[in-house]
Amino acid sequence: MAPPTGTPKEAGDQLERLTAKPVIALRFEHGSEPAVRLADSLVSIAPLVRTIVMSRHAKP
């Protein structure tokens, strides 16, 4: 998993190439250190969230 980064146009171009639907995109007004840490944390837990959602959908 690699989050789209860059200008809004660049991130939009990257999102258009994704096969996964839907996607979640966050926009940070400023690239402050706390914002970067938050983004890194979200990327690191995304696979876990996917696993939980898939597990819940698989249950009868």
How many domains would you assign to the chain?
1
Q: State pLDDT tens for residues 4-60.
A: 777 888 888 988 888 877 777 777 777 788 887 888 888 888 888 888 988 988 876
Question: Given this model, what pLDDT does residue 8 score?
Answer: 83
pLDDT at 2: 66
Q: What is the pTM for the complete model shown?
A: 0.52
The CA-to-CA distance between both ends of the chain, in Å, stands at: 29
Q: Which domain holds residue 19?
A: 8-58
On whether residue 42 sits in a domain, the answer given is yes
- DSSP letters, 1-59, are -----SSHHHHHHHHHT---SS------SS--HHHHHHHHHHHHHHHHHHHHHHHHHH-
Q: Is residue 3 part of a domain?
A: no
pLDDT at 1: 60
Sign of CA dihedral 5, 31, 42, 37: positive
Structure-token pair, residue 45: 């837990």
Q: Is residue 2 part of a domain?
A: no
The answer as to whether 46 is a domain residue is: yes
